[in-house]
Each structure stands twice: as structure tokens, then as C-alpha cells.
Structure 1
């Protein structure tokens, strides 16, 4: 019984702190193709997510919407045998709109899912008493307002309205059988974000456009309440393995991104280079206390995550301001210590390689981005289930848009 509750605690602990196995940054196809290195010069509505300062682009109405297909190909090697998660695609959508009130003031809004994956392990695998299914989704509604001044500085700020849900299924070992448990929880939270962009060199300088950007997202406090549902429970365990409520509190981590971008226009060809360094405060989760309806079952789960910096870069070549080719790369280290990494969140250091294409024509936009997420083997010493986690994820993002000058 306590192992079952420990597994639920582990997922709740990771869900608000959201280690990188569930984090999703692919909220725009162009940004995906450039490994998210658009922070310094983001100039379309996806700036609502990547850097809200970029929504200030004069008098125009601009809309972008799309979807991402994520196929997790995670593996766990235990005692010489390798087990694969189910190859079930996960499609987190995105939608943005911005409107220029004046040449120097704009508003925008975005809807996206920055944490949202499902992981299904085989029903009979050795870790079934920790997890057979885990799902985490965080839906963000993010209105913004921005202003430009001095001809080269843009500032913006917004509110994050968050709906968070989490679900875990697994088996419970009894004397001569196994019962099942399905745990689900949800909550709402509110936070804020802000962004800055500075054009160090302006486009008419003769030396190209050089931009600096910074973007910050605040922590979001989440007070979870949910239920534990037990099934296939033998009569002799019915009094202890009974449906009940659970509660806990946790925090989405703060993040800070710093970026540079350089663009130079030749006669018919443009070249853009971008770089991003991003801090994520995973250390917000040191441990998690879970309160059950039956106080005898209350537990504390250690996680001891650490903060991380991840880095990315991208190159974009444009032809006649209509056709675009993009490539990118990213290094994303794991926030987990080896002794707390469990199968609900099979994390590891990651190397991400990306690329994509773009088209612009009379205000219409179409972008396609691809990213290969390559997990480096991570040896977990988690006492209930030592394992080596690895594998990959395949990501494809399609975004369509339209802009109208006012």
C-alpha cells in the first residue's frame, strides 16, 4: 500500500516541478526548427510564450495556430532486459493572437500546453508496481501587453492562468495477487511573466540587426486535491485499500531566458543566427508532503531536484523573404539525482537536433519544424527499481498563421 502511495507522491512531486521529461517547449514550428533560439528577436505571436516583448511590432493583427505531434520512445533497461513505453502520440496544441493598438503598444494572448505528455509502460513489466500509466498536462492561458520606446527597446508583461492535471495508474502487490490503483488530481494556479528586447544594432545600421532578449516566468503555486481509486481488491484488504481523497501543494518552477540574435540581409538572401541560455529552477522541489484522508497514510517523498541551465542555437536562411530553411541544436541536462529518478518520469540528459522549413506569401504563413530528442543513458539508483533510462522522442510541429497590416 505505501509503495502505491509513494508512486503517486513521486508523480505529484515531479508534475509541478515538471522535470524535462514532461516539459514541452515546442509551441511554434519555427521555434522548434531553431531549437527555441528565438527569444532575442521573436517577432510573431508565438512571442507570447518565448518572449512577450516580441508582440510589439506595429499596427497589425497577427494570428498563429498549430499542433505538435510528440512520440515518446523511452526505454528502461532492468537486469539485462529492455522495456519500451507505448508509442502513443501526444498532440499539445498552440494558439496565439496579437493586436497592435498603436505603433508602439500591442496586446496579445496565447493558449499552450508547456507540460503535457502521457507515458504507458507494459502491464507486466518489472516496474508495474510503480507505474503502468502516467499523464501530466498543464494548460496555460497567457494574456500580455507590451510597449516599445526609444526606437529600439520593447517591454511586455502578462498573466499566466494555469490548469494542471495529473493521473497515475499502477499495480499493488498483495499476498498472492495484485490490485490496481488509479490516482488523479487537478488544480488551478496563477503566475506572471515578462520580457525585454533591445536592438543593439538596428537593421539600417549597415552592419545587420543585432538583438538581445530576456524573458522571465514566475513560479506558480499549485494546491492539488484529488482521489485514489482502488480496484481488484480482495475482501481481506478492503478496509485499508479503499477510495479516498489526497491533497498536496507544490510549485511550478521559475525560469529565465537570455538570448542573442543576429540577422544580415544580402540582396535576395538573409542569414539569421540565434543563441539561448535558459535557467529553470527545478530546485523548488526538495521534497513533497502528501496528506491522505486517512492520516496514517501521510508520507513525505524526497526528490532533491537541482536547477539547470540549458543551451540552444539556431540558423535560419531566408530567400526573397518568402522561403526559409532552419536548423538548430540544444543541450538539456537532467535535474534529477540518480537516487530519486523513477519510471513515472524517465528523465536523462538530452541532445536535441532540429530543422524545418517556412513559407510566407501575402500575409499567410506556414511553418514545419522537426526535433529529435536523444536521451543519454542515465543510471538510476532509485531503491525500489534501479534501471538505466534512455531512448528518444520524435517531435513534429506544424504552425499556420496570418498577418494583416492595419
Structure 2
């Protein structure tokens, strides 16, 4: 049964890879109506995507609804060796195209004050691929992080103006990390790769929606932290056999070494307001706080020492970060709605902690969208999102002050350590999306 469950989840994760584009490794593409409105969805008039954005709004949906959507993500990270004034070295990632998706269903008996819903979505992920021989190959060559969530949900309309809701988030993930080892290999590189799926973990997603008037909506939501943990994960050390005794000790079967690790999907607290002066116009604003401070370090515990170390710990020390969003829509004749928005996404990565794993910067993001009511039962939503990361430079002194770079002091027995790569980083992303909704 365990192998069947593993195969099922890995199949799902294989068809929905995600790419890093938001601050940290958060992926907010859970509804293309919302994306087109500056990626805000907590205080809007609800639709099926409220299962994710604000479960409290579900009970205000008329009838039932099913939504299926996906996004096509093209992202790139660039690096310049600005720490060396004589260097002209520059490179960029070759990240694969990614296709995060979302699926929601909302239903209740006619006349009921409650709604039941189910959501399937991908809220966190990262896919970053650097060249195998790039300057930071010893820190990272490739990382793939995928998360997958099921969320059964209930919402109840306490009055004609106020509703609440919540769901249990059942989360699962998959992680792969590859980096080069400091071993000379002719015509290639020696590498270490860790990869496996996480245990199933649980969290909650709760929210409320208040109709202050026929024109004004107020919403709030909270998604809890979920810790994705890998136990007895697989490792792959691609090295010449002659180096194995030096790295792992004599007689050790290094091909059977496993690892344990955990990675948080941090909690998010959001509040939102939308104003509808008439049936044609929607304007709104939203603020979200992502509780990134739970991500203190990337820690790997090996079943046997690797290069004399059984625990590898690379500090992260993320800080909580804000995103502020604005959006507007105008409904034309024939069921056509034009949308636009923008939002500022603050980086959780402190100076001195910037890594090739998540070369993160503050971002200004711009969105446009188009909605079309094909009929009383069928809606189509398109969106386009442009991610514009701000160029960010990190010096060697920044790393030394943060403790992520430790200079060697061999006379005193300190070999030195480098967990970050000084230089200049910049990220960009282009994301197109489509959602299809059937109302009944």
C-alpha cells in the first residue's frame, strides 16, 4: 500500500512541476481571476478559488462550481561576479518551463447556509538549474522542490452579511538537490545528489468574509505552517571509486547512505478589501504577511558521515515578509471583464544569506487579465504576470558579517566554510494562465 501511495503522489508531482517566482519559494497561482487582479483574492466576491484564497467566502457562492486551471511559468535567474573587480564572469539559469495547476469544487444542497469544497493545488515550489560548471557549482547545480496539497473545506453563512470557513490541508512534497564535490574528474564533475518524497503533513486554512454593504467586502484568511519532512531519503554520490574511502571512510557502502531533512511551508496571514461602486467596476487592496522566520536552516542528517560530517547545516534565517497588492476590473458588455493589478513582494532573505538555491530579491509584479462569461454556466479566465526582481548585490564582507562565510584559519584548526556566493543576482519571470469554471 505504501508503494502504491508513493507512486500515485510522484505521478502527480511529475505532471505539475513548479518554478520559483515569488519571494522565497512560494508559488501563488491558485486562480487566474485573482492573478489578473494583482494576485489578490481574500476580499473579492467569491468564486471556486475561494477554497484556497478565503474559505470563509465559499458560502456566498450561488449554487455549485468546479474550476480547473493551470499556468505556464518561464523564469530565469542571472548572476554576475561583481565581487571580483577584474572579472567579467556572468551566467544565468536554464530553468525548465513549469506548469503549476489548481482544481476546486464547491457544492451544497439548494437553500443551505453551508458549502462544502475541495481544493487541489501547489502552493510552494522551486526549480532552479545552474550550469554544471558555473562559479557556484560547489553550492548548487540544481534544486527541485515540489509541493502538492489537498484541502477538504467547509464554509457556513452565519448571517446574510458574515460567513466563516476552514479546511484541513493535506500536504505532500518532493525534493531534489544537486551540487558539485571538490574532486577532480577529467571531462566532468563529481556530484552529490539527494532526492526523495516527504511524509504527508497536515495544516489548516481558515477565513472570514464580511459584507459591510452591497458595495464593500472585507476578508481575512490564515494558512498555517506545514513542515514537509523526508526520512531515509536516497542519495547519489557520482564520484570515482578511488575517492570513496577518503569521503566516507574505509569499507563504507556509500551507495546505501540515506538522509533526513525538513522544509517549512510557512504560514500566511492576509487581509483584503474590495469596493464595487456598481456592477461594472471592482477595485481592491490586499496585504499578506508570510511567516518565513520558521526557515532557520537547510539541514541534512546523513545515516553515515560524509567527508567527516554527519550533519550538514547551512543557515538561512529568513525574516517574515510582506506583500502589498492592488487590483481593478471593469466589466464590459457581452460578459467580458478586463483586469489589471500590481503588487510589491518583499524578500525574506537577509543580507549575507543570499544563496543560489533561492537568489531572492524584492520584486515588483505587474498583472493583466481577461474574464469571459461564455454562458450562465461556463466562465473562462486568462491572466499574465510579469515578475521583475530588483538587482541585488552581496559582498564577501556581507557573508563574513552574517557568519555564512568563515575564512580559513589553519594554524588554529579552522578549515573555513562558505554557504553563500558573493556577487550580483537578478530574477525575472513571465507567467501565463488559464482557468475554466463550470457553474451549476
Query: After TM superposition, is the score higher than 0.5?
Result: yes
2:242 equivalent to 1:228: no
1:97 paired with 2:105, answer yes
1:175 CA displacement: 5.1
Q: Give how far 1:291 is off.
A: 1.7
**Preserved contact between residue 55 and residue 153 of structure 2 (Cα < 8 Å):** yes
**Deviating more after overlay: 392-401 vs 21-30:** 21-30
Q: 1:206: which partner in 2?
A: none
1:393 corresponding residue in structure 2? 429
Matched with 1:44 is 47
The answer to whether the 8 Å contact 1:46/1:64 transfers is yes
Counterpart in 1 of 2:387?
373
- Number of residue pairs the alignment of both structures matches: 379
Contact map agreement 2:270 2:286 (CA 8 A) in 1: yes
Output aligned runs, 1:202-217, within 5 Å.
202=214, 209-217=215-223
Structure 2 spans left out of the alignment, 5+ residues: 1-17, 82-86, 249-253, 400-404, 406-417
Q: What do you get for the CA RMSD once the two structures are aligned? A: 2.0
Rounded to whole Å, the distance in 2 between the matches of 1:364 and 1:171 is 51
Q: Which residue of 2 aligns with 1:355?
A: 368
Quick check: 1:58–1:100 contact (8 Å CA) kept in 2? no
Task: Tell me by how many angstroms 1:60 deviates.
Answer: 1.4
**3-state DSSP class of the match of 1:235?**
helix
Q: Secondary structure at the match of 2:390?
A: strand
Q: Is the 8 A contact 1:247 1:291 kept in 2?
A: yes
Structure 2 distance, partners of 1:230, 1:87, is 23
Q: Which protein has greater RCO, CA pairs closer than 8 Å, 6+ apart?
A: 1
More strand by share: 1
Alignment of 1:230-245 (within 5 A): 230-238=237-245, 240=247, 242-243=254-255, 244-245=257-258
Which residue of 2 is the match for residue 53 of structure 1?
A: 56
Runs of 4+ in 1 over 6 A off after TM superposition: none
2:415 corresponds to 1:402 = no
Aligned partner (choices 104, 114, 131) of residue 122 of structure 1: 131
Which of residues 284, 287, 308 is equivalent to 1:274?
284
SS of 1:265's partner is coil
Shift of 1:302: 1.6
The residue correspondences of 1:13-52 to structure 2 (distance < 5 A) are 20-52=23-55
Question: Unaligned 5+ residue runs, structure 1?
Answer: 1-14, 203-208
Contact 1:19 1:336 in 2 (8 A): no
Task: Quote the offset at 1:232 in angstroms.
Answer: 3.2
Q: 2:91 aligns with which of 67, 83, 92?
A: 83
Match of 1:219 among 225, 229, 240: 225
Deviations 1:277-318, CA, capped at 9 Å, x for gaps: 001110012235432112542133221110011100100101
DSSP 3-state at the match of 1:236 = helix
Instruction: Give the Å deviation of 1:87.
Output: 4.6
| Equivalent-residue separation in structure 2 for 1:307 and 1:236 (angstroms) | 42
| Structure-2 change in CA distance of 1:288 and 1:135 (3 Å) | closer
Where does 1:158-307 land on structure 2 (aligned, <5 Å)?
158-174=167-183, 178-187=189-198, 188-202=200-214, 209-225=215-231, 226-238=233-245, 240=247, 242-243=254-255, 244-265=257-278, 270-295=280-305, 296-307=309-320
The 3 A distance-change label for structure 1 pair 234 and 216 is: same
Q: 1:117·1:135 contact (CA, 8 Å) conserved in 2? A: yes
1:214-233 C-alpha deviation (Å, 9 max, x unpaired) = 00011113332212211133
Partner of 1:151: 160
